[in-house]
């Protein structure tokens, strides 16, 4: 799975144009979100095929800043505090979380600055080992 950081104009139809470009290329979005920050649209979307998504977006004139691997984690939804516990462990390992969102399968998607250390924390956060 790949996270694409996408720049969108802060105007009506910018998100629609992004979705249409992906549709024309037969590329599905697996999770993510979009926000306006200081007058600039910024989106993080998850794709099974990041290269195909990037090609489709760039062909439509949509700027892709980055394509990155992600960490995928499932939290125990019925246990309060899971997000705090997992993210505290990331912090204690020196891992900065740069983006966090859910996919369509209710899994937590983390874009981190240190994938190797982040993966170590994520793998230790197994169903058996986590609180």
- pTM comes to 0.90
Task: Tell me if 45 sits within 8 A of 53, measured CB to CB.
Answer: yes
Distances in Å between the Cα of 15 and the Cα atoms of 4, 56, 98, 116 are: 14, 14, 22, 32
**Helix, strand or coil, per DSSP, at residue 99:** strand
**Helix, strand or coil, per DSSP, at residue 65:** strand
pLDDT of amino acid 126: 62
Cα 14 to Cα 130: distance, rounded to the nearest angstrom:
41
> 117: burial class by Cβ within 10 Å (0-12, 13-18, 19+)?
middle
pLDDT of amino acid 49: 97
Task: Tell me if 67 sits within 8 A of 115, measured CB to CB.
Answer: no
Write out the chain's pLDDT in tens, 131 residues.
999 999 999 999 999 999 999 999 999 999 999 999 998 999 999 999 999 999 999 999 999 999 999 999 988 888 888 999 999 999 999 999 999 999 999 999 999 999 999 999 999 986 544 55
pLDDT of amino acid 128: 47
């Amino acid at each position: 799975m790949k996270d694409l950081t996408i720049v969108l104009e802060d105007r009506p139809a910018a998100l629609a144009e992004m979705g249409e470009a992906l549709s024309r290329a037969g590329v599905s979005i697996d999770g993510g979100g979009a926000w306006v920050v200081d007058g600039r649209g910024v989106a993080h979307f998850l794709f099974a095929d990041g290269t195909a998504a990037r090609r489709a977006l760039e062909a439509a004139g949509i700027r892709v800043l980055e394509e990155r691997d992600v960490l995928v984690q499932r939290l125990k939804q019925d246990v309060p505090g899971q997000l705090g516990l997992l993210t505290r462990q990331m912090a204690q390992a020196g891992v900065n979380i740069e983006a966090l969102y859910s996919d369509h399968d209710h899994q937590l998607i983390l874009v981190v600055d240190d994938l190797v250390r982040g993966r170590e924390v994520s793998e230790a956060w197994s169903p058996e080992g986590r609180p």
